[in-house]
Amino acid sequence: MHPPLDRPHPECQQQIIDLQTCHATTSKLKFWGCNEVKFALDRCLKEEKQNLLKVLNKDVEQKRQMEEDAYQQALGKDISFEEYLKQDKDYIRAMNERNNK
């Protein structure tokens, strides 16, 4: 099963067209006869998703550092957010309750 093809997939247009053509030309066999075309489409969609994730996540570390710096500036202490959470009684209680469920 592939994802809905109603949104544009520019990198995979040829594979989409090939699959639609296969489905249109092999009426009853479209459920069994288009496997190779579908596998090619699946590979293409997977690569497209991986490329999209790379683009979206390329600045993650830089953004995290900016958030950490802003937190330290606002708090006025030289302590990381993780260290602050380890000292926060409400956070510790909530995490313990969550883990005990």
Residue 88: the pLDDT is 83
Q: What does the pLDDT look like over 56-99, one tens digit per residue?
A: 888 888 888 888 887 777 777 677 778 878 888 888 899 898 88
> What's the CA dihedral at 21, 27, 31, 33 to 10 degrees?
-70
Residue 47: the pLDDT is 95
Backbone φ and ψ of 88, nearest 5°: -80, 115
Could you give the C-alpha distances from 29 to 2, 14, 34, 41, 52, in angstroms and in order? 17, 21, 8, 18, 33
Q: What does the pLDDT look like over 3-52, one tens digit per residue?
A: 677 778 888 989 999 988 988 887 776 677 788 989 999 999 999 999 99
pTM comes to 0.56
State the Cα–Cα distance between residues 22 and 19, nearest whole angstrom: 5
